[in-house]
Every structure is written in C-alpha cells, then in structure tokens.
Amino acid sequence: MTDNGTTERPAVSPRAILVPLALAQFICSFAGSNMNVMINDISVDLHTTVQGVQVTITLFLLTMAALMIPGGKLTDKYGRKRCFMLGLTVYGIGALLSAAAPGLGVLILGNSILEGVGTALLIPPVYILTTMLLPGVAARARAFGAISAAGGIGAASGPLIGGLITAAISWRAAFVFQALIIATIIWLARRLHDPLPADPERPFDVGGGVLSAVGLVLIVTGILALDNNGWVALALMAGGALVLWWFFASVRSKERAGVEPLLSTRLFRSVTSNLGLVTQNAQWLLLSGISFVVAAFLQVARGYDAIQTGVIFTAETVGLLVSSLAAERLAKRRPQRTLILAGFVVTIAGIALLLALVISTSSVWAFVPGLLLIGVGLGAMLTPSVNVVQGAFPDELQGEISGLSRSVSNLGSSFGTAIAGTVLVAELTSTPERGYALALVVLAVAGLIGFFATLRLRTEPIDVAELQ
C-alpha cells in the first residue's frame, strides 16, 4: 500500500509495455495493405469488382481517420487501457466477420466499419501509454521508433503475408490470422496499467466528433466519386470542406465559452508540429497509394496471383525494415529534419524508377529497385516525423495530439488509396500502363509536397509556453 491508501502497481518492464503496443500498430497497418494482393480473389469470390475492393480498403482507412480524434479524446474519459482493450475486441469481431463474409456488404461491415472503429479506439492509447509509461526522452524516442517501424513493416509486409496466406489457404484465412494476432495482443496487454485514472465526468464534444467525421467522410467519398461523376465529386468535397470549417468554428466558439472542445486549438499553434503532421500525411499517402497501385496493376494488368504479388513487395519490406532498424543510430548522428528530407528524396527516386523501369520492360525484376528505394526512404522518415509531432507537446496534451497525429496519418492512407487508386482504376481496363503512370505521377507530387514542407521544419525543442 502507498501512503495515500492506494495499491501500488507492480513494475512492468519496458519490453512488456512495448511489445503489445508495437504489435497492435503492426496489425492495424497490416490490415490497411494486406487486402491489396487479394483484389482478384475477393472480386471473384464475392462477385464484385476491383473498384468494390478499393472502396472497402478506402472506407477502412477512412473510418480510422474520421474516428481517431474522438478515439483519442475518449481515452481521458474512460481510460487508456480500457479503450485499448475495447478497440482490440471490436477489431477482432470485425476480422472474424470479414472472414465469414458472404458478400461485399458484410465485408464492408466487418473490415471497413468494425475493424476501422476498433483501430480508432486502440491506436491513440498506443502512443499515449508509450509517452506516459516510458520516462525520459531517449526511452520514448526508442519506443516511438519501434512502434513506427512496426507500423511501417506491417504496411509493407501486408502484401507478402497476405499473399502467402491467400495462396496457401484463402483470402478469408488472412482475416483469421488478424483475429489470432489480436487475441495474442489482448493476452500480452493484461499486465499494462493506466498511469492516470479515468475521468468519467470529463465532457465529450459529441457534436464536434460528428462534424469532424462527416467532413472527412465527405471529402474522401468525393475523391472516390471522381471517376463516375465529376460534379457530384466536387459537390461532396466542397460539402466536406464546409463541414470541417463548421467544426473548427465550433471549436473556437466552445473555447471562448470556456467549454472543452473535441480538439484544442493549442495543437495548431506549433509550426513544427503542423509541418510534422503534413510530412506524416504525405508518408502514409505514399505507402498506401504505392501499395494499392502496384498491387492492382500486377494482378489486373500483368495477371499475377496473390503470392507472386506479395513476393514482389518483399523488396519494399526489406528496405523499410533495414532503414527502420537503423533509425535510432541515424537519429544520433543526423537531425530529424535531415532524415525526413533524405527519406522523401529516396522515396521520390524510387517512384521514378518504378515509372521508368516498369513501363519500359515487362520483367518482374523491374519492380524491385523502385520498391526497395521506396521502402528505405519511408523507413528512414516515419520515426522522425512521429518524434517531431509527439515531442512538441506536454503530457496533458498527449491524448489529443495522439488522436490528431494518427488521424492525419490514416487520412493520408485514405487519400493514397482513394486518389491514386481512382486514377488507376479509371484506366485499368482500357490502358493500364497509362493509368499506372498517371497514378505514380500523382504520388510523386504528394512526395514533393512533403519534401517542401520538411524544408520549413524546425526540430529544436518547443517552448511549452508558446502553446498556452
């Protein structure tokens, strides 16, 4: 017993803390990319189209993005571990439902909705618990590096693992695999404790949560509609922008009235954090967009099966793994801004190789150099971007910034699949090489936006007084 009468919790080793949290980030990122190699199998089995599978993947990423900010805020009200465990449970149910899906509608319910909601509940606690349970800047930097690497490796290895499982058993077994990993995480997380008590009386901005979610959904839905009806797409995106403007206006109004909003405007007063969020969005846009474009092109245009497609993505996985494992050593030698800049340069060079080599030859080896460079580039900058954003704020704002940071990253994934996928799908049946080239050009432009944002990035420690 402690002096104040509460029971002292047993110490938990950093490894016991980090393993379930990193594994949770791995499986959520894996879920965002493993379906890319199942496009043909799912389309045939569920009597749908490539666009139907694209919509399912995008809606999963969008659900995460739209609900991540409310999910981060709920951790203060109901507790970080409780939200983490609830998210894992909802995710596991969604994975099992997806495995048994008789049609596209049930797959969307299980994968896009339930897995998306589960992820939005469990991911913010991953970053909040890491910040609060691991003292010291060095320990947190190592932990963020491991978690970011787990996320990147999950996204990069999704096509390979998904392809192997699909070829050996079926695409449905890949969802059973996810459920088994979730069960393992729940068992590993039993010793985690919440460093702060939940505050059930803390208000929750329901209206703000609805407005932010609706705005994001409308924008991404508009992007998906571009190849069907341009005017409807523009109307949806304009409506989404208007709803998001309404959301931020309501946030300012609530703060002036002394009411706690869903998202504090203090989070946007740090130029460093704002630019870091732009780089995060661009990085995950590139990772998801390239994964979908290359996987869809290989299967539909080149006729590759799931395992062949997955094996080709091994090059990206290896590159990402190598640079992620070197992230900590690189961080001791180079400023975070330098690492992010180098990451964008290498990634854009990889896209250029994918474009030049694949268009000029039909050899399967043409994909390897570009994917390898893309993996190296993304792995080099995922961790520094997270460190820049999370490290810009004190502990009391970690719940909000974690939700915002993950929302921005997942929104980037949604944009990648929606924008690049829409460009590709529009040309896939008639002129697939042209659609492939246009999609890669769009992704290269996104990489350049991230590069120029990084040029303005300031990575010195932030004065907390600036945020008051």
User: What does the pLDDT read at residue 118?
Assistant: 94
User: What does the pLDDT read at residue 10?
Assistant: 47
Say if CB 140 and CB 301 are below 8 A apart: no
Say if CB 304 and CB 433 are below 8 A apart: no
Please give the Cα distance from 36 to 3 (Å, whole number): 55
SS3 267: helix
The pLDDT tens digits of the residues spanning 373-394 come to: 999 999 888 778 877 886 677 6
Which conformational region is residue 47 in: left (phi greater than 0), alpha (psi within -120 to 50 degrees), or beta? Answer: left
pLDDT top residue among 431 and 290: 290
SS3 134: coil
Among 85, 61, 62, 83, residue whose Cα is nearest residue 72: 83
User: What does the pLDDT read at residue 411?
Assistant: 77
**Confidence band of 127 (pLDDT split at 50, 70, 90):** confident
pTM of the model as a whole: 0.76
pLDDT at 4 over 60: no
Lowest mean pLDDT among 41-45, 367-371, 428-432, 449-453: 428-432
The pLDDT tens digits of the residues spanning 62-110 come to: 788 788 878 877 887 888 889 999 999 999 999 999 999 999 999 999 9
User: What does the pLDDT read at residue 426?
Assistant: 67
Please give the Cα distance from 122 to 281 (Å, whole number): 20
SS3 233: helix
pLDDT top residue among 440 and 468: 440
**Confidence band of 341 (pLDDT split at 50, 70, 90):** very high
Q: What average pLDDT does the chain have?
A: 82
Say if CB 230 and CB 427 are below 8 A apart: no
Please give the Cα distance from 320 to 293 (Å, whole number): 18
Cα angle value 171/175/178 (rounded, 5°): 140
Identify the sign of the CA torsion 279, 448, 53, 168: negative
Say if CB 54 and CB 36 are below 8 A apart: no
User: What does the pLDDT read at residue 351?
Assistant: 94
pLDDT at 416 over 70: yes
Q: Which residue has the tokens 């996987």?
A: 295
Mean per-residue pLDDT, 31-38 = 81
pLDDT top residue among 276 and 13: 276
Please give the Cα distance from 407 to 124 (Å, whole number): 9
Mean per-residue pLDDT, 348-352 = 94
Please give the Cα distance from 323 to 376 (Å, whole number): 5
DSSP symbol at 260: -
Domain at 14-193+262-459, CATH homologous superfamily: MFS general substrate transporter like domains (1.20.1250.20)
Domain boundaries, the chain: 14-193+262-459, 206-261
User: What does the pLDDT read at residue 323?
Assistant: 82
